[in-house]
Homo-oligomer: A and B are copies of this chain.
Amino acid sequence: MTQLEQARQGIITPRMQEVACKESLDVEYIRHGLETGTIVIPANMNHPHAEARGVGKGLSTKVNANIGTSSDFIDLDTELNKLDIAIQSGADAAMDLSTGGDLPHIRRTILQRSTIPIGSVPIYQAGVQALKNHDAVVKMTEDELFDAIYDHCRDGIDFITVHCGVTQRVISLLKQQKRITDIVSRGGAFLMGWMLYHLRENPLYEHFDRLLDIAREFDVTLSLGDGLRPGCGADATDRAQVEELVTLGELVQRSREAGVQVMVEGPGHVPLKQIEANILMQKRLCQEAPFYVLGPLVTDIAAGYDHITSAIGGAIAGAAGADFLCYVTPSEHLSLPNVEDVKQGVMASRIAAHAADVAKGVAGASERDRKMSIARKKLDWETQAKLALDPEKVRQVHEQHHTSGKACSMCGDFCAMQLVSQHLDIDMHKC
């Protein structure tokens, strides 16, 4: 039985216990969230050594790190280093998006090593193989696509991105309204190419029940991909994007009815003032299914710094109700990220997630800020380091200049907090 099916029967599983403990919440709250579909626990039966992470309503905002090879850069060791640093930096999940090299071997090695849930996009494997076997991505057969999905699920992948909402109607809306960047989702592009070539409906939509059967067998969480996510601010919240979301809402309901855990993916590039509306729309159309957003990026011109662009959008999205932030690294739009990029990406997303948690009132979030601020007032540097998101970084930056007193080298002898303490204390004493 899936976690969802068990929740329905009132069963508390060890995974639910684990999540309740991590979130400092009652386990009945977690069970109820699973039952109603507002919470998912992506945990494949065949990936038992990964820790459980809950994603959804009332839980802390989670962070995902994308790793994986490309056809231009294939080195498994580098990808494993990225996985390690993502976990060390506090990522809650990672996705193996490999498209270069021996994909099954890479996937299995990552799954074996990972102590956090792993997601993937199975159509990449089907597309890469089709290019090899049939000389064109679009020549993949439906069976090859579903076989790739089955392989990923059987291997232990905890959540899979499936672009089920890229329908012929969506494509006609895309052609009608026009866009600057058309489709920027690789999975979405594979499917659209296939549909235009074969003049057929999206097999993942047409045979959604076949997908549900596979997911249920291993308790894989479906992550309904947004193949139409906008690739630039000018394309955001257009008819193609919203039509896809309407369809994803229908599929959320069908997944739940089938006992399959499901979440929904979202944009992308979205101007700041459109973010809240996008979150509200997803929550309404998809009956409060957990929302997993990529960014959103609030401007298109910050290439080289898109971890920051994305932290801005992610914090606003999280505060408005997004549950899961996919990181963006400084290399986004330009290059496959390196190991240091992965760390920068995770840290930026964790800042966004925590700022959102403070805004959402997630248990313990403000309290950690309060403790940090008390340590800051006391000029207690070691406690500040321990409470910070990146203790090592705090120690290293604090020591980059010599300090003559207790205050840091920014203010030296003229630390405001130190000055005020002296005078307020004397004054209070006088009263």
Give 7 closest A-B pairs by Cβ, nearest first. Answer: A232-B373, A71-B412, A304-B393, A189-B416, A298-B355, A72-B412, A72-B409
A185 within 8 A of B: yes
Any B CB within 8 A of the CB of A404: yes
Quick check: is A51 within 8 A (CB to CB) of the other chain? no
Q: How many residues of A contact B (CB 8 A)?
A: 114
Is A58 close to B, CB under 8 A? no
Is A408 at the interface (CB under 8 A from chain B)?
yes
Is A63 in the interface zone, CB < 8 Å from B? no
Q: Are B333 and A376 in contact (CB under 8 A)?
A: yes
A207, chain B: closest CB distance, angstroms = 22
- Using CB atoms, name the residue of chain B closest to A184: B416
Contacts of A403 in B (CB 8 A): 72
Task: Give 29 CB contacts A-B under 8 Å.
Answer: A71-B413, A72-B409, A137-B414, A137-B419, A175-B424, A175-B428, A181-B376, A182-B417, A182-B420, A184-B417, A189-B417, A192-B423, A231-B373, A232-B369, A232-B370, A232-B376, A271-B358, A301-B388, A301-B389, A302-B388, A303-B388, A304-B390, A305-B351, A309-B355, A312-B315, A312-B316, A332-B410, A335-B397, A336-B410
Q: Is the CB of A389 within 8 A of B192?
A: no
The one of B73, B330, B354, B399 that contacts A302, using a Cβ cutoff of 8 Å: B354
One of B184, B186, B192 near A414 (C-beta < 8 A): B186
Interchain CA distance A193-B403 in the complex, whole Å: 23
How far apart are the CA atoms of A417 and B229 in the complex, in Å? 12
Interface segment among A5-13, A22-30, A123-131: the answer is: A123-131
Is the CB–CB distance between B377 and A181 below 8 Å? yes
Q: Find chain B residues with CB under 8 A from A319 CB.
A: 272-273
Given contacts A232-B369, A390-B305, contact A334 B408 (CB under 8 A): yes
Those of A248-304 within 8 Å (CB) of chain B: 269, 271-273, 298-304
A347 located at the interface, meaning its Cβ lies under 8 Å from any Cβ of chain B in the complex: yes
Closest partner residue, chain B, to A337 (CB atom) = B410
Is the pair A271, B352 in contact by a Cβ cutoff of 8 Å?
no
A234 within 8 A of B: yes
Q: Which A residues between 125 and 145 are near B, CB-CB below 8 angstroms?
A: 127-128, 131, 137-138
CB distance from A343 to the nearest CB of B (A): 11
**What 1/0 flags go to A180-215 for Cβ under 8 Å of B?**
111111101110110011000000000000000000
Contacts of A71 in B (CB 8 A): 404, 412-414
A231: B residues at CB distance < 8 A: 373, 376-377, 417
Distance between Cα atoms of A388 and B309 in the complex (Å): 13
Q: Which residues of A contact B (CB under 8 A)?
A: 70-73, 99-100, 124, 127-128, 131, 137-138, 175, 180-186, 188-190, 192-193, 196-197, 231-235, 269, 271-273, 298-305, 307-309, 311-312, 315-316, 319, 330-338, 347-348, 351-352, 354-356, 358-359, 366, 368-370, 372-374, 376-377, 384, 387-390, 393-394, 396-404, 408-417, 419-424, 426-428
Question: Within the complex, which residue of B100, B413, B419 is in contact with A193, where a contact is CB–CB below 8 Å?
Answer: B419
B370 touches A272 (CB 8 A): no
Closest residue of chain B to A351, judged by CB?
B302
* Bound-complex Cα distance A73 to B413 (A): 11
Q: What is the minimal beta-carbon distance from A171 to any residue of chain B, in angstroms?
A: 9
Which of these, B182, B192, B333, B387, contacts A408 with CB under 8 Å? B333
Please tell me if the beta carbons of A419 and B189 are within 8 angstroms of each other in the complex: yes
Given contacts A185-B416, A231-B376, A309-B351, 14 further A-B contacts (CB under 8 A): A71-B412, A180-B373, A189-B416, A190-B414, A196-B423, A232-B370, A299-B351, A300-B369, A302-B354, A302-B388, A303-B384, A304-B397, A331-B400, A335-B409
In the bound complex, do residue B423 and residue A138 qualify as a contact, i.e. CB atoms below 8 Å apart? yes
Q: Shortest CB–CB separation between residue A317 and chain B, in angstroms? A: 11
Structural contact, B305 and A183, CB atoms closer than 8 A: no
